[in-house]
Amino acid sequence: MEGFATTATITTRRLTLVPLRAEDANALARVLDDERLYEFIGGRPRTVAALRDRYAAMAAGSPEPEEVWLNWVVRRRADGQVLGTVQATIGSRSEGHTADVAWVIGVDYQNQGYASEAAEALVDWLRERGAETVVAHIHPGHHASGRVASRAGLRATGEYDDEGEQLWRAP
């Protein structure tokens, strides 16, 4: 889909969001290796090899022709430290392009505004490129993610997906 370049780098005051590559698995395995990250999203930490395979598949793109996968590594600009990831899945619907977004920041880097800064930059970048709607699926008990979504301009809808996650939307 035009406008949604999979090689774009997004820069904020403190962060650089760079396209995810399989080679990022080593650094991300250390950041994502904390059971607390999976309390609301399910799953568990993955091995470096499993992450490498997953990231290679993600970088290859969606098998669906009307869908684009965009994935970034969140790095601190001051020292290049990997903090986590953000992602967007862009789909074309009758009402226009819709972007489903998500973020994860390592436990050691939480409560410092990094997730909010990265999510806000991602939502702004998507809007600038024509995403009419941006949606996040957030576990109703995950109040920190709700705050991040709110800071990024999304609002709780009162709607829930099939897994019981609340939809947060920016029209």
Q: Does 140 fall in a domain?
A: no
Looking at the 3D structure of the chain, how many domains does it have? 1
pLDDT of residue 157: 97
Identify whether the C-beta of residue 132 lies closer than 8 Å to the C-beta of residue 95: yes
Q: Does 3 fall in a domain?
A: no
CATH number of the domain residue 50 falls in: 3.40.630.30
Give buried/exposed letters for 27-66 (b at 16+ CB in 10 A, else e): bbbebbbeeebeeeeeeeebeeeebbebbeebbeeeeeee
Q: Does 23 fall in a domain?
A: yes
Q: Does 156 fall in a domain?
A: no
Instruction: Note the pLDDT tens digit of each residue in 4-35.
Output: 666 789 999 999 999 999 999 999 999 999 99
Sheet strands side by side (includes 96-105): 10-11, 15-19, 67-76, 82-93, 96-105, 133-138, 166-170, 155-160
Q: Does 162 fall in a domain?
A: no
Alpha helix locations (H) across 78-159? 114-128, 143-151
User: Look-up: residue for tokens 């930490």?
Assistant: 45
The mean pLDDT of the chain is 93
The region of weakest confidence among 6-10, 58-62, 167-171 is: 6-10
Q: Does 62 fall in a domain?
A: yes
Q: Does 165 fall in a domain?
A: no
* pTM score: 0.92
Instruction: Note the pLDDT tens digit of each residue in 82-119.
Output: 999 999 999 866 557 899 999 999 999 999 999 999 99
Res. 3: pLDDT tops 70: no
- Domain span at residue 57 reads 10-131
Q: Does 142 fall in a domain?
A: no
pLDDT category at 42 given cuts 50, 70, 90 is: confident
